[in-house]
Amino acid sequence: MEQLSNYRPTKAVIDLQAIRNNIKNLRQHLQDHVQIIAVVKANAYGHGVIEVAHAALEEGATILAVATPDEAVQIRQVIPGTDILVLGASPVQFVPYASEHNIILTVFSPEWILEAAKQHTTKTLLLHIKIDSGMGRIGTASQDQLHQLYDAIQKVPNFETDGIFTHFATADEEDAVYFDKQVSNFKELVHSLPSKPRLVHAANTATALVKDPTLQFDAVRYGISMYGLAPSGYVAQRLPFPIEQAFSLETELVHVKEIRAGQSVGYGATYTAAENGYVGTLPIGYADGMIRKLGGQSVLVDGQRCPIIGRICMDQCMILLPQAYNVGEKVTLLGAQKGEFISIDEWAARCETINYEVPCIITARVPRIYNNVR
């Protein structure tokens, strides 16, 4: 979303060059005919969908993937032409827009096709069949269902089976039993079709980089590592090339004050100073996605780690400073500062979650600024 104004110094700085490098490296890693589907759902994992989409397309991605019809519309309003694949379910009411604007829909039920066929289409509607090979989410799971679906599509003059794909539940883990089972389920179903659709795809980041780099089919769906994050510790230790974190989070000190031993800070007065020192106030809080669970996390000031003290408020939080820095001093919450670095993985560990979640929960109140504007 466009920011109307940007007076507060809190911002997410997105390194588009890092994203470009992460895609360039993947390109080297793929066979020439294999297409890159850049996964830019959820506002490009919180990085800003339009800017990331442009960067990905310039580095050779040929298809953009989103989760919802509305995300596809948002891109199409700015980027004409390029194939956009909606990975999730779409209502049949989206069919007219999708056919007119070259948006590829994911399908998995013959009933949906019958309803969708009643919608007005101006051009051919491209469809990718989703196979549930073991994820248990959306998708067709049996040969019978697949053939019913395929036949239903064949009967609609303006509908075309352009692709078929599946998604792996355990590609980021060491054990291969469940993964191998999904691969064989998928291959069996694909081979049962009377003809191969244009695009067969299965690999997410973990599969393409580590779990089975030979399983490229016609395209790979590249998400998390495009943003410079590894899907899991298992994958992180086996990456075929280094990846660069693209997301930084920065602000400035807006108030610095002395605190005396015995004085407390924040709601509930949960922090009490053991000795005299300095407290800095940051204009960022849980309404920005800096959730309360991050209490105790360090931030960087002048290249030094300073702990957050007391409870994180809705719009502000406080840190303990080693000296009296000036108001306006730069504070880095995520990313690099003077040789120190705070990773998204570090935040994820503190929040007891996965790195995927961290940039996604930095809310729209935090403007995304690009250090590599085209």
Six-digit token pair at 69? 């019809």
Site string for ligand PLP, 14-43 (x = CB under 6 A): -------------------------x-x--
Which is the catalytic residue, given 123, 155, 181, 267? 267
Footprint (CB under 6 A) of ligand PLP, residues 113-142: none
Interaction between residue 204 and ligand PLP (CB under 6 A): yes
* CB closer to ligand PLP, 202 vs 321: 202
Footprint (CB under 6 A) of ligand PLP, residues 285-324: none
The CA-based angle 33-35-37, given to 5 degrees, is 170
User: Would you give the end-to-end CA distance of the chain in angstroms?
Assistant: 18
**CA separation for the pair 54, 250 (Å, rounded):** 24
For 233, how many CA atoms within 13 A lie in the half-sphere containing its CB? 5
Footprint (CB under 6 A) of ligand PLP, residues 215-254: 221-224, 231
Interaction between residue 205 and ligand PLP (CB under 6 A): yes
Which is the catalytic residue, given 41, 150, 222, 227? 41
* CB closer to ligand PLP, 71 vs 250: 71
Reply yes or no on whether 267 is catalytic.
yes
Footprint (CB under 6 A) of ligand PLP, residues 160-179: 167
Q: At what angle do helices 177-191 and 143-154 cross, to 10 degrees?
A: 40
Reply yes or no on whether 41 is catalytic.
yes
Size of the site for ligand PLP (CB under 6 A): 12
Which stretch, 204-212, 302-310, 311-319, 334-342, contacts ligand PLP (CB under 6 A)? 204-212
Distance of closest approach, residue 165 Cβ to ligand PLP, in angstroms:
7
Q: Which residue is nearest to ligand PLP (CB)?
A: 223
Six-digit token pair at 82? 């390029």
**CA separation for the pair 222, 226 (Å, rounded):** 6
Q: Maximum CA pair distance of the chain?
A: 78
**CA separation for the pair 9, 229 (Å, rounded):** 26
Instruction: Determine the 3-state secondary structure of 297 from DSSP.
Output: coil
Q: How far from the centroid of its chain's Cα atoms is residue 143's Cα?
A: 32
Active site residues: 41, 267
Interaction site with ligand PLP (CB under 6 A): 39, 41, 87, 167, 204-206, 221-224, 231
